[in-house]
């Protein structure tokens, strides 16, 4: 069973000619089949956690360990992490002009699966996945994220999640900027992947709204670069009612 | 991305946003009431067939300021003397086409345009024999005319004329390979209603120097499509230029360059909308990689007072793949009449972005594959518009090859 283990993770970023520590000792274990929600105020370091796990070059890991099934993730390049089974659905997916969605998906699936998917089954697989996400077939011929609406970008991220079948999926504020209809479609996509029982999900969010559609097994409150409280789904209800105020007092918010 | 997006209504708009290091993207739109064109007058001397009418450039002139003169190997100052074994020209033309080699005094030469700088005038003053390819009126070719210009290591001056009679249709592929120091002009004369597609491929060896002017004179209701593809050479500097002989002419000018370490590739375009109801569409795209790779793109469009109903757009896009490369991109649009359909230009120079790379790699795609995907995509749209399948395939293969070399 796949397990992502994060132990005492410290991460810094260079900003304004100074080194700033964003993550200050994160401990978290995500097992296949589990869903963890990480909730926290703006600036608490939640997105830094997501991007550090995926290997974004902007962030420097200064301490701690991250392993996936015992393999050292920190030592891996960005593409190696993805091939090892980590997936990051991004909050702000970038445009890649000149590269069509269909070309991108196939190149990516080929890299992740280690061989080119058979064309006939692949076309069917993509078509069906797109239908489930209410995506028009013409979408496949558009350039990656170019001119996509906020909702289209997020559906495209979840489309990749469904096709690439990672061991651990990190969803970075997938709910932000979505209207209720889009949120439902996207959440249904995440739930289909979760129901396979083969993915561990790390759901990073600012709002409790998405948790009405995607039920977490564990909820963690993130503040000032670390997890400050962990609990079950009831913790989300508490946050819904009380907000983050209790966690950011005394300048705890970065 | 530094983006200059101008439209005639915006007046004197120029580039917005900070340009990436090592590039300029300065555009201008001038709306003039008088017929005094600055596009024409900012050259240091008026056009002439005689090299003696041009002073030897010193490098600060508007038309020379981006060019490393010392690498022209004497083409600009009269010291490059033809060696007699400079280039070999072979023309392979389908039936119905006349191919001639003529002397300097042939009256058909020089009708499409007059040299605008000293090197083009030097070529015109120094060539001894010219190739003339004629497609008779109403002849529609199904196979391309292929002209192979192969450098044999010497210095050469040349002139070519490709003429299509009224309603003739042809595709011409001019291939430049080998090593040479070459200054050569090409004239395209299109009769009324003629359709000409020209692909000029500069696939020179590393040391070659190639400069010249390509003049098109586009007949009434004629269509001219120019595709300039520059990969090789130490220095390539071309002036693709268009004039219209009557109303209704349509011009497409596409360009594609892949500028490598140490190479200087310069394309200086001029479209002179001198008659009413003509169209022009210019799209040039370049990728650069390596230390001191330098691409220059100048896009001048003049809409003269008489040219009512003009519809023109020009665009230049550059993709900088590594540090140390430089792009100078200067679109200029000058408008002397407001009675037009449309006029605009855009220029943008962007880096292959770390965020794009991260996004693709985060989906398991290895770095070199990610770069290939982006560059292929960058050029694909333009390549698809060429409309000559074997050239399209060859270009895609060539782009792959350039990218492979960069990965190694």
Domain at A54, CATH number: 3.40.50.300
Q: Name, in order, each residue with C-beta under 8 angstroms of B225's C-beta and a sequence gap of 6 or more.
A: B196, B197, B198, B251, B252, B253, B254, B387
Mean pLDDT, residues B79-98: 94
CB B59 within 8 A of CB B40: no
Contact B377 A97 (CB under 8 A): yes
Which positions of chain A have pLDDT values less than 50? 251-254
Name the residue among A97, A20, A4 with its Cα closest to residue B319: A97
Q: Is residue A71 part of a domain?
A: yes
Q: Name, in order, each residue with C-beta under 8 angstroms of B217's C-beta and a sequence gap of 6 or more.
A: B111, B112, B113, B187, B188, B189, B190, B243, B244, B245
Which of the four pLDDT bands, split at 50, 70 and 90, describes residue B211? very high
Conformation bin of residue A71: beta by default, left when phi > 0, alpha when psi is -120 to 50: beta
Contacts of B1 in chain A (CB under 8 A): none
Contact A82 B358 (CB under 8 A): no
Are B13 and B40 in the same domain? yes
Cα separations in angstroms, B286 against A53, B296, B369, B390: 35, 10, 19, 21
Are B318 and B403 in the same domain? no
Q: Is B199 exposed, middle or buried (0-12, 13-18, 19+ CB in 10 A)?
A: buried
Task: Measure the CA–CA gap between B388 and B171, rounded to whole angstroms.
Answer: 8
Which pLDDT does position B23 carry in this prediction? 62
Q: On the CB side of B335, how many CA atoms lie within 13 Å of its CA?
A: 27
Strand partners, A195: none
CA torsion sign, B64 to B288 to B154 to B213?
A: negative
User: Which domain, by its residues, includes B395?
Assistant: 353-408
Are B396 and B330 in the same domain? no
Q: Is residue A163 part of a domain?
A: no
Which pLDDT does position B381 carry in this prediction? 79
Which pLDDT does position B368 carry in this prediction? 87
Q: Is residue A40 part of a domain?
A: yes
Mean pLDDT, residues B111-127: 97
Mean pLDDT, residues B18-32: 57
Mean pLDDT, residues B200-220: 97
Tell me: the pLDDT tens digits for B270-311?
999 999 999 999 999 999 989 999 999 999 999 999 999 999
Which pLDDT does position B375 carry in this prediction? 87
Which of the four pLDDT bands, split at 50, 70 and 90, describes residue B385? confident
**Residue B196, min C-alpha distance to chain A (Å):** 28
Tell me: the pLDDT tens digits for B343-374?
999 998 888 778 999 999 999 999 989 988 88
User: A199-213, B10-24, B169-183: lowest mean pLDDT where?
Assistant: B10-24
Closest residue in A to B381 (Cα–Cα): A98
Which pLDDT does position B80 carry in this prediction? 96
List the single residue in A57, A97, A111 with the smallest CB-CB distance to B364: A111
- Of A26 and B378, the structure prediction assigns the larger pLDDT to A26
Task: Measure the CA–CA gap between B386 and B226, rounded to whole angstroms.
Answer: 9
Tell me: the pLDDT tens digits for A130-170?
999 999 999 999 999 999 999 999 999 999 999 999 999 99
User: Which domain, by its residues, includes A206?
Assistant: 3-96+168-251
Q: Is residue A138 part of a domain?
A: no
**Residue A171, min C-alpha distance to chain B (Å):** 13
DSSP conformational letter for A143: E
A84 touches chain B (CB under 8 A): no
Q: Is residue A135 part of a domain?
A: no
Query: How many residue pairs from chains A and B have C-beta atoms closer than 8 A?
Result: 80
CB A175 within 8 A of CB A210: yes
Domain count for chain B: 2
Which pLDDT does position B313 carry in this prediction? 97
Q: Chain B residues within 8 A (CB-CB) of chain A?
A: 353-356, 358-367, 369-370, 373-374, 376-381
Q: Which stretches within B127-191 are classed as H helix?
A: none
Are B20 and B103 in the same domain? yes
Long-range contacts (CB closer than 8 Å, 24 or more residues apart) made by B369-375: B369/A107, B369/A111, B370/A79, B371/B321, B371/B403, B371/B406, B371/B407, B372/B400, B372/B403, B372/B407, B373/A96, B373/A99, B373/A103, B373/A104, B373/A107, B374/A96, B374/A98, B374/A99, B374/B319, B375/B287, B375/B319, B375/B321, B375/B399, B375/B403
Which pLDDT does position B17 carry in this prediction? 35
CB A143 within 8 A of CB A130: no
CB B128 within 8 A of CB B154: no
Contact A97 B367 (CB under 8 A): no
Contact A55 B364 (CB under 8 A): no
Final residue belonging to a domain, choices B308, B331, B352: B352
Are B194 and B336 in the same domain? yes
Which pLDDT does position A248 carry in this prediction? 79
Q: Is residue A105 part of a domain?
A: no
Q: Is residue A209 part of a domain?
A: yes
CB B234 within 8 A of CB B206: yes
CB B369 within 8 A of CB B337: no
DSSP, collapsed to helix, strand or coil, labels residue B377 as: helix
Q: What percent of chain B has pLDDT over 70?
A: 89
Final residue belonging to a domain, choices B332, B352, B372: B352
Which pLDDT does position B10 carry in this prediction? 29
- Complex confidence, ipTM: 0.95
Domain count for chain A: 1
Closest residue in A to B369 (Cα–Cα): A107
Are B222 and B363 in the same domain? no
Strands B23-25 and B326-335: parallel
Contact B373 A77 (CB under 8 A): no
Final residue belonging to a domain, choices B352, B367, B390: B352
Are B364 and B347 in the same domain? no
Are B346 and B360 in the same domain? no
Are B92 and B146 in the same domain? yes
Are B214 and B179 in the same domain? yes
**Residue A89, min C-alpha distance to chain B (Å):** 9
Which of the four pLDDT bands, split at 50, 70 and 90, describes residue B403? confident
- Say if residue B250's pLDDT is above 70: yes
Q: Is residue A193 part of a domain?
A: yes
Both tokens of A97, joined, read 């002009």
Strands B294-303 and B264-273: parallel
Are B330 and B380 in the same domain? no
Are B329 and B369 in the same domain? no
Cα separations in angstroms, B376 against B267, B323, B362, B373: 21, 20, 20, 5
Contact B373 A104 (CB under 8 A): yes
């Amino acid at each position: 069973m796949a397990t992502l283990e994060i132990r005492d993770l410290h991460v810094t970023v260079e900003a304004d000619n100074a080194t700033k520590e964003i993550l200050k000792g994160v401990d978290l274990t995500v097992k296949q089949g589990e869903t963890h929600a990480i909730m926290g105020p703006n600036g608490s370091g939640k997105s830094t956690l997501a991007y550090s796990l995926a290997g974004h070059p902007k962030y420097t890991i200064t301490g701690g360990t991250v392993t996936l099934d015992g393999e050292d993730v920190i030592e891996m390049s960005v593409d190696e992490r993805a091939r090892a089974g980590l997936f990051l659905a991004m909050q702000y997916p970038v445009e890649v002009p000149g590269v069509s969605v269909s070309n991108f998906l196939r190149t990516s699936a080929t890299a992740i699966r280690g061989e080119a998917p058979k064309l006939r089954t692949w076309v069917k697989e993509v078509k069906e996945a797109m239908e489930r996400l209410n995506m028009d077939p013409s979408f496949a011929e558009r350039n990656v994220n170019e001119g996509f609406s906020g909702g289209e970008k997020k559906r495209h991220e979840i489309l990749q999640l469904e096709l690439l079948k990672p061991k651990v999926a990190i969803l970075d504020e997938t709910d932000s900027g979505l209207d209720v209809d889009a949120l439902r479609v996207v959440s249904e996509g995440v739930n289909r992947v979760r129901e396979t029982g083969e993915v561990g999900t790390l759901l990073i969010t600012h709002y409790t709204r998405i948790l009405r559609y995607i039920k977490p097994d564990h909820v963690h409150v993130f503040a000032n670069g670390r997890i400050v409280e962990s609990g079950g789904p009831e913790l989300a209800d508490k946050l819904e009612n009380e907000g983050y105020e209790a966690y950011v007092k005394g300048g705890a918010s970065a | 991305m530094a983006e200059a997006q101008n439209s005639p209504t915006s007046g004197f708009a120029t580039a917005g946003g900070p340009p990436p290091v090592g590039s300029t993207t300065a555009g201008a739109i001038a709306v003039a009431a008088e017929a005094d064109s600055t596009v024409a007058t900012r050259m240091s001397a008026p056009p002439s067939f005689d090299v003696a009418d041009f002073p030897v450039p010193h490098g600060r002139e508007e038309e020379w300021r981006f060019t490393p003169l010392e690498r022209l190997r004497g083409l600009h100052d009269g010291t490059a003397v033809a060696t007699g074994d400079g280039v070999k020209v072979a023309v392979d033309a389908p039936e119905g086409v006349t191919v001639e080699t003529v002397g300097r005094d042939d009256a058909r030469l020089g009708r499409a345009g007059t040299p605008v700088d000293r090197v083009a005038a030097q070529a015109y003053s120094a060539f001894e024999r010219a190739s003339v390819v004629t497609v008779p009126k109403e002849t529609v070719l199904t196979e391309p005319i292929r002209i192979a210009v192969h450098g044999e290591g010497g210095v050469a001056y040349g002139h070519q004329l490709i003429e299509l009679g009224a309603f003739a249709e042809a595709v011409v592929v001019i291939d430049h390979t080998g090593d040479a120091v070459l200054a050569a002009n090409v004239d395209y004369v299109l009769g009324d209603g003629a359709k000409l597609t020209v692909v000029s491929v500069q696939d020179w060896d590393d040391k070659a120097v190639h400069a010249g002017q390509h003049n098109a004179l586009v007949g009434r209701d004629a269509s001219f499509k120019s595709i300039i593809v520059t990969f090789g050479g130490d220095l390539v500097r071309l002036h693709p230029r268009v004039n219209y002989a009557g109303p209704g002419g349509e011009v497409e000018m596409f360009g594609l360059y892949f500028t490598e370490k140490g190479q200087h590739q310069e394309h200086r375009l001029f479209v002179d909308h001198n008659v009413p109801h003509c169209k022009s569409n210019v799209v040039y795209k370049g990728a650069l990689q390596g230390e001191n790779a330098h691409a220059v793109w100048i896009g001048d469009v003049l809409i003269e007072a008489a040219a009512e109903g003009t519809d023109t757009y020009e665009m230049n896009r550059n993709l900088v793949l590594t540090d140390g490369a430089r792009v100078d991109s200067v679109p200029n649009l000058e408008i002397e009449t407001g009675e037009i359909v449309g006029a605009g230009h855009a220029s943008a120079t962007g880096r292959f972005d770390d965020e794009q790379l991260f996004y693709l790699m985060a989906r398991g795609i290895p770095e070199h594959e990610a770069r290939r995907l982006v560059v292929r995509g960058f050029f694909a749209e333009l390549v698809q518009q060429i409309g000559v399948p074997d050239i399209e395939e060859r270009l895609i293969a060539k782009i792959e090859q350039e990218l492979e070399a960069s990965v190694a």
